[in-house]
A and B are shown apart, each in its own frame.
Chain A
Amino acid sequence: MIRRVLFNLMAWTIVLAVAFPLFWMVVTSLKPQSELFRRPPTILPETLTFEHYWQLLVETNFLTYFQNSVVLSVATTVVVVSIATLGAYSIVRFKYWGRESLAFLVLFTYLLPSVVLIIPLYLMLVGLGLSNTILSLVIAYTTFALPYALWLLRSFMAGIPEDLESAALVDGASRMGAFRDVILPQLLPGIISTALFTFILSWNEYLYALVLVNSDNTRPLTTGVMNMLISSFNVEWSLLMAASVMMSVPLIIVFAFLQSYLTRGFGAGGVKG
C-alpha cells in the first residue's frame, strides 16, 4: 500500500513537472504587471486580472491574426481532407499502373523537410503574384498536410473490411454508390481524426508563414504573436502569455471533446512533428 502511494506521488511529480511550463503560462497571463516583477515571484497570483486579455483583444492585431489562422486552417483542412479521402480510397481499393510508386512517393514526401521545398515554392508563389495572401499559405500548407492526410487515411481505409463493399456491389450498387453509402460512414471516425490533426498542423505552422507573408492583414497567429515580441521594445510577458493561452484555446477544446479521435489518429500513423 505504501509502495503504491509512493509510486503515485513520484509519477504525479513528474507529470506536474512536465506540465509546469503550461501552468506557468496561465498563471503569468493572469498576474497584474506589478506582481510580475516581484521578487521572489509569487507562485499563485495574489490578485487575478484579465486586463492582458482585454488589452490583447482591443489594442493589438490579435483578433486579425486569429481570424486569419481560422480561415487558413479550415481552408487547408477542407481542401486536403477531401482530396486525400478520394486519393486514399483509390490507392487502397483500386489496381492500376503506377499505384505502388505513388504510395512510395506519398511516404517519401511525408518525411520531406520543408526547407527543401520552401525556396522554389517561394519563387513559384511570388511568380504567380500570390505572395502575402492567405491563399499562398493554403497552397504551401498542402505540401506537408496532403502527404500526411493521405498516409493517415490510407491506414484507416485499409482497416475497413472489403466484404462490406462487395456485398453492396452484388446488391447492384455502383462503385461510387458503395463508396458513399458503405465506405464513407465507416471511414467517418478516420476522417474526423485526420481533419483534427491537419487542423492542428496548420494552426501551428511557422516557417511558411514567416517566409510567404509579411503584412499584418494576412499574418496568422504563429508569426503574428512572435512579431509582437520582436516589435514591442518593451516586452510585456503577461501579454505574450495571454496570447499564448488564447492561441492554445482551440487545441484545448479539440483535446477536451475529441480525445478518442485523437488517440485513434495517433495509432493509425503517428503525428507529424
Chain B
Amino acid sequence: MIKNQKAKLERQYATLGMMLIAPTVLVFCAVIVYPLVSAIYLSLFDIYTPTLQGEWVGLDNYRELLGKGEFWTSLRNNIIWTVGTLSLQILFGIGMALVLHQNIWFRSLARSLILFPYFVSTVVAVLVWRWLFNDLYGILNHLMMAAGLIDMPIDYLGSMPNAMISVILVGAWKYFPFVVIAVLARLQTIPDALYEAARIDGAGPVARFFDITLPQLRDVLVVIIMLRAIWDFKEFDLIFLLTGGGPVTSTQTLPLLVYKEAFSLNHMGMAAAYAVTMMAVMLVFMIVYIRKTREKEA
C-alpha cells in the first residue's frame, strides 16, 4: 500500500518536472534545434539571399568549398588567430593571477581594473583601440616614436602582418581577464601546507611554481583552454569590427567568411555549408570540453 503511494508520488513528481522543463524545451526546439537542423539542410541548396529562392544541389557546396582557396586561407587565419591569442591569454592570465594572488596594495581595485576589459562591449573595445591605433593622432604611435622605438607611424590595421598581430593583441587584452579570474579562484584553494613543506625542503619560488602551483592548476587549465579555444575560434565581432577581415582577406576567419557569403555575396546555401564545416572542426574541441566538464562533476 505504502509502496503504491510512493510510486504514485514519484509519477506525479516526474510529470511536474516535465511541466517545469516544458518552456525550456519549447524555446530550445524553436530557436536552437530547428535552426541547427535547417542549417545543415540549407547547406544542400544554392540559395540567393534577396529572393530566398534556390535549388537542391546536394553536396556540391561542400565540394566547392573544399576546392576553394578561400576556405583554406580562412581556416589557416582562424588557427593562427586562435593559437596566437589563446597562448597570450593563458600566459598573461596565469602571470597576472599569480601577481593578484599576492597581497598587493588596493588589491580589489586592481582586480576590478583587470576585469573591466572583459565586461566592456566589444564595440567599445574596438572603438577605443582604433583610436589608440590611429595613424595620425593615435597615442600608440606617438608613444613609440617618443621612446625611439620607431621612426615612422605604423599602420597597425591596414597592412600585414601588423593587422593579424594587432587583432591577436587586442583579443588577448579583451579576454585574458577570464583566465585571471578562473586561475585566481583555483589558486585560493591550494593548501598553504604544500608550500610550507616545499619551503622546508629548500625549494625556491621557481621550483615551487613548477612543482606545486602548475600541477595543482592542471585540471582547471585544461578546462579553461578548451573553453577559450572554442570561444576564440568562433569569434566574430572583434575581428570584423577591427579589420573587417582585411587587408583583403588576410585576417578573414571562418565566421567572417560565413557572414560575407550570406549577407554580402548573397550565397545563403554556401554560407550554411561553411558554417556547418566550421562546426565540424570545432566539434572535436566541444566534445573534449564536455567530457572534461563531466569528469570534473562526477
Contact = CB atoms under 8 A, between A and B. Distances in A.
Interface of A: 7-8, 10-12, 14-16, 18-19, 21-22, 24-25, 28, 36-37, 39-41, 83-84, 86-87, 89-91, 93-96, 99, 102, 104-105, 107-109, 111-124, 126, 139-140, 142-143, 146-147, 150, 175-176, 200, 203-204, 206-207, 211, 221-223, 225-226, 229, 237, 240-241, 243-244, 247-248, 251, 255, 259, 263, 266-267, 270-273
B20 A86 contact: yes
Given A119-B275, A267-B185, A226 B227 contact: no
Contact of B116 (A116, A126, A207, A255): A255
B120 A22 contact: yes
Given A83-B27, A270-B178, A19 B113 contact: yes
Nearest to A124: B35
B124 A115 contact: no
Contact of B20 (A11, A89, A266): A89
A222 to B, nearest CB: 5
Contacts of A28: 131
A247 B115 CA distance: 17
A248 to B, nearest CB: 6
18 contacts: A7-B102, A8-B105, A25-B127, A89-B20, A90-B17, A93-B17, A95-B10, A104-B290, A105-B33, A107-B290, A111-B286, A124-B34, A143-B35, A146-B24, A146-B27, A229-B127, A255-B115, A270-B227
A97 to B, nearest CB: 8
A40 B105 contact: no
B203 to A, nearest CB: 19
A39 B137 CA distance: 8
A117 to B, nearest CB: 5
Contact of B131 (A24, A83, A248): A24
Contacts of B39: 116-117, 119-120
Contacts of B237: 206-207
B121 A203 contact: yes
Given A204-B121, A247-B123, A143 B32 contact: yes
Interface in B159-184: 173, 175, 178, 181-182
> Which residue, B32, B134, B178, B293, has most C-beta atoms of chain A within 10 A?
B32
A117 B20 contact: no
A15 B114 contact: yes
Interface stretch (B58-66, B67-75, B191-199, B255-263): B255-263
Nearest to A105: B28
> Which residue, A8, A21, A107, A114, has most C-beta atoms of chain B within 10 A?
A21
A270 B182 contact: yes
A40 B132 CA distance: 14
Interface of B: 10, 13-14, 16-18, 20-21, 23-25, 27-28, 31-36, 38-39, 42, 52, 96, 99-100, 102, 104-105, 110, 112-125, 127-129, 131-132, 134, 137, 139, 142, 146, 173, 175, 178, 181-182, 185, 227, 230-231, 233-234, 236-237, 241, 254-255, 258-259, 262-263, 268, 271-272, 275-276, 278-279, 282, 286, 289-290, 293
B241 A226 contact: yes
B113 A15 contact: yes
Contact of B121 (A10, A11, A121, A247): A247
Contacts of A150: 24
A147 to B, nearest CB: 8
Contacts of B33: 105
B181 A266 contact: yes
Contacts of A146: 24, 27-28, 31
B20 A244 contact: no
Contacts of A12: 104-105, 110
Contact of B23 (A10, A83, A118, A126): A83
A200 B110 CA distance: 21
Given A90-B24, A175-B13, 7 more contacts: A86-B20, A90-B20, A111-B230, A117-B36, A119-B258, A147-B32, A266-B185
